Chain A
């Protein structure tokens, strides 16, 4: 069989290439601009139609024009032809365009190579289990297409797929060895293009009305926590993010300076836990209040926010501990206290007046009580608050009285500051959902929360959660219980039926295991694993050596197995012996010297119901074994399959 690359392409190979293109490019439609996906889809459809009608492919000038238009479009969309998004967009377009150019085997080879490369690009966007499964299927099909291109064209699709599947399965040991032993590099293997972190989700370091409410609509997972001991009470689970001290009348921001380090008195024994944070493209570790032991490379700032040295651009695991009861900065710096009393000049007159009124000979604790009592009155907790006027706090406190945690936190802090009590807003997450299947606490974006912190003489900074006064359920049970009936909620949070919840728990537990065990296999874990196999302190050289030895042993083992299997591995003989075993079951034994034709004769006499099917087996076997015709193997396989059992 000739394999010259400039031979014209067999028409029957084209559908394989069409399917390959579909499988390798389709998932990119999720994140690509709609016009690009439509263009790619159009070209795929066009190529399929031309194949179906057996018509001539378009001429090269037209194709060049389309490429040029696509390049200009990509340039206009992404402002570049490089980087992750633009590069992948270009590849997707080119892959589908190649289908309009399938003239020779060379073109098919190019398309297949491009397909294998496109497989890789999917991992730049997603590394979940469904992606991995999809890509395995795509790889299977790509390999089958390659076999189809080079192998026996008369094989049935089943046979080609079986062959390809076998090849892919044989690659698994090598895949495992490479996965376990390839030197791990902390961080991504290659620097991701700068646009890889577009569309950030998660807390922001600025809080303006509506910013948290928007986040709360998302059921995405923010982080997962596993406590070494018992799960603490839910209302104690405050995951601290940025502390916002500066208020400009609309938005809250953290103070940019570098005040002295915090002084923390721990009043309860530390609780150790392990937290796996999804990439949120900030430095915050979202540690449990108040942070005690921090991982290496992390630090605690003056407002008790734990931060990592690097921005968290990928999922990462940290071990930390926390003291749930604590005293924080009892002797606070005067500058800090002053800053936390500041309010923008003018604005919110009613609020100021109310606070002035409370301030008259009332101790700070009583003022806090009055404020919480005010919220506990006729305020409503909702994710869809009505829009607020220019004096937002006044409007909220005296007119709308409907809002979300950020409204309550902001209004409370303004009230406190106006009443002369240093106060600030703390952003972060509250609570979480316990998955009983794997013992992980899952904290979602919908658990995003804002609360207040006030400084009291002799007590330091004390956490006050005004939302708890409005809707105690928000803090004790979770957002779904806190909202009035009928409000839209993220779908994930909304599923509360028992079996759906169990299913979701299971799926999340599997995902978590995948994240923890497969994706979380980092240099540290690799070292631990190798140490267990007697290779302590492995550097990349010994890793490369181990990798080489393991791959060599594997290849040698597989070769030895293949060589050992070869004599009995003759498929014709295997099938024949299978047929003979079936005959033995029907009480017809074959002497070693008996020829197949004699045996068929005997079967006809002893077992007439088997005679006809066995005759076909003998025919096919003799042709396959003693004839010069190579196509009788399939005939034999069919005949043996049709033998009655």
Chain B
């Protein structure tokens, strides 16, 4: 989180402040995570939320969809879910004597893939292909998905029973992976006092028009990244490849993802240029799911990412 933004740097009013504020009222004490999720969507990336059940993963994606005015659909992944359950099927209409395509739940602007790691790899890959291509091929016909198209996937930690962990190649498709974690004491108390926040979701009205989203995404992509900043991103990527804490380093695609996320983060702060602070702020969310710890191939710890930041001088 950017702790301090000086007037000289924030030349424009900050957009999306209302969204962040309203979302903050639903998901208590998770401002940083909400902002990361928003940054991820603005950068045109897909989001993976990993946490234990009941931490507000679904609420977060639902909230975002409502506030941004996006058409929302939810797929609950189970072990017996088939690819066609996601993409849709053609059925024969007797009256017209022809096949009619019934689009699956993936045909929405914001798709919540709940507990994605409970489905079989075959089903998982059907969604992941849709994420990558922006289109779905059913029975030999290619159908474009709506624009914009976001996937917010949630998954339970891999050690839980009955899960199929996403392979690294597929994790790479997500721009960010965030964890919500337990709320702090104050937030938890407010939650208990206020009752379930789920109920208040219906009170939310869209703050923005989804039609404007591509324009904002264009602005985000045009946020100025100076030479020294690119140097910094490059240095971080290179350091991850040298660091003994990781099994392997960040890929070039990860470097691109890091820069895109940092741009988005800077834009949300109302700045016209990206600062090293932005890169540092998004690095854990962008890098953790792409790296494997050198000790036993387990997930990287947050401390490893902090150490990575400390090993690179800011140019």
Contact = CB atoms under 8 A, between A and B. Distances in A.
B140 interface: no
Interface string B184-205: 0000000000000000000000
B8 A619 contact: yes
B314 A594 contact: yes
Contacts of A600: 4, 6
Contact of A597 (B2, B272, B274, B313): B2
A626 B313 contact: no
Interface in B131-148: none
A598 B281 CA distance: 12
B75 interface: no
Nearest to B281: A595
B28 to A, nearest CB: 26
Interface string A11-41: 0000000000000000000000000000000
Contacts of A594: 314
B275 A628 contact: no
B226 interface: yes
A631 to B, nearest CB: 13
Contacts of A598: 3, 277
Given A593-B312, A594-B314, A595-B280, A622 B9 contact: yes
Interface string A573-608: 000000000000000000111111110110000000
Contacts of B277: 595, 597-598
B64 to A, nearest CB: 27
B33 to A, nearest CB: 21
A623 interface: yes
Contact of A625 (B4, B228, B280, B312): B228
A595 B314 contact: yes
Contact of B9 (A592, A595, A619): A619
A597 B229 contact: no
Interface in A458-491: none
Given A619-B8, A625-B228, A593 B311 contact: yes
A284 to B, nearest CB: 73
A597 B275 contact: yes
Interface string B152-182: 0000000000000000000000000000000
B312 A628 contact: no
A628 B226 CA distance: 7
A625 B9 contact: no
Given A594-B314, A595-B275, A619-B8, A625 B3 contact: no
B276 interface: yes
Interface in B215-231: 224, 226, 228-229
Contacts of A627: 224, 226, 272-273
A511 to B, nearest CB: 55
Contacts of A623: 8-9, 273
Contact of A628 (B273, B311, B314): B273
Contact of B314 (A592, A601, A618, A620): A592
B309 interface: yes
A620 B8 contact: yes
Nearest to B8: A619
A595 B9 CA distance: 14
Contacts of B4: 597, 600-601
B310 interface: yes
A619 B6 contact: yes
Contacts of B312: 593
A625 B225 CA distance: 10
A638 B61 CA distance: 48
Given A593-B309, A593-B310, A628 B3 contact: no
Interface string B1-37: 0111110110000000000000000000000000000
Nearest to A619: B8
Nearest to B308: A593
A84 interface: no
A380 B275 CA distance: 94
Contacts of B273: 622-623, 626-628
Interface in A550-574: none
A504 interface: no
Nearest to A616: B8
Given A593-B314, A598-B277, A626 B226 contact: yes
Nearest to B5: A597
Contacts of B6: 597, 600, 615, 618-619
A576 to B, nearest CB: 11
B226 A597 contact: no
Nearest to B312: A593
A628 B224 contact: yes
Contacts of B313: 592-593
A596 B5 CA distance: 11
In this complex, the member of B275, B309, B311, B313 whose beta carbon has the largest number of chain A beta carbons within 10 angstroms is: B275
A593 B307 CA distance: 10
A159 B228 CA distance: 26
Given A623-B8, A625-B226, 12 more contacts: A592-B313, A593-B311, A593-B313, A595-B314, A596-B276, A601-B4, A615-B6, A620-B8, A626-B228, A626-B275, A627-B226, A628-B226
Interface of A: 591-598, 600-601, 615, 618-620, 622-623, 625-628
The 9 closest A-B pairs by CB, nearest first: A592-B313, A619-B8, A595-B277, A626-B226, A595-B276, A627-B273, A628-B224, A626-B273, A593-B310
28 contacts: A591-B310, A593-B309, A593-B310, A593-B311, A593-B312, A595-B276, A595-B277, A595-B314, A596-B276, A596-B314, A597-B3, A597-B5, A597-B6, A597-B275, A597-B277, A598-B277, A600-B6, A601-B4, A619-B8, A620-B8, A622-B273, A623-B9, A623-B273, A625-B228, A626-B224, A626-B273, A626-B274, A627-B272
Interface of B: 2-6, 8-9, 224, 226, 228-229, 272-277, 280, 309-314
